A = this chain, B = another copy of it.
Amino acid sequence: MNTTTLTALAEPNRLHIIELIRDRGPLTIGDIANRLELNQPQTSKHVRVLHEAGLVEVQPAANRRIIKLRTEPFQELDHWLESFRSMWDDRLDRLDEYLRDIQGLDHSD
């Protein structure tokens, strides 16, 4: 697991930005600032960090920037958590294996 993703998410305002976009869909810097009651400069800065960490995609549209979630970092995080899942849920693991069997998918890992 890489720590850039975690570092980016560890700041409360940035986490809120991520969850906001997750819930409301792509948003503008101004939208984010308004909804989260942040100043515009700090919003830009936080979004920059999120972008540099690859958590977010920035799509210019005229005057504005539309901020979208990227999937890869969350997939990576999810994959990382796989290695812990057996700690707390063997049953689901076995079901997952069974599921893959009946779906005829490869599970050679």
Contacts and interface: CB of A to CB of B under 8 A. Distances in A.
Interface stretch (A39-47, A57-65, A68-76): A68-76
Contacts of A85: 74, 78
Interface of A is mostly: helix
- This chain: copies in complex: 2
B88 A99 contact: no
Interface in A51-109: 69, 71, 74-75, 77-78, 81, 83-85, 87-88, 95, 99, 103
Interface residues of A, number: 26
A69 B77 CA distance: 18
A15 interface: yes
A31 interface: no
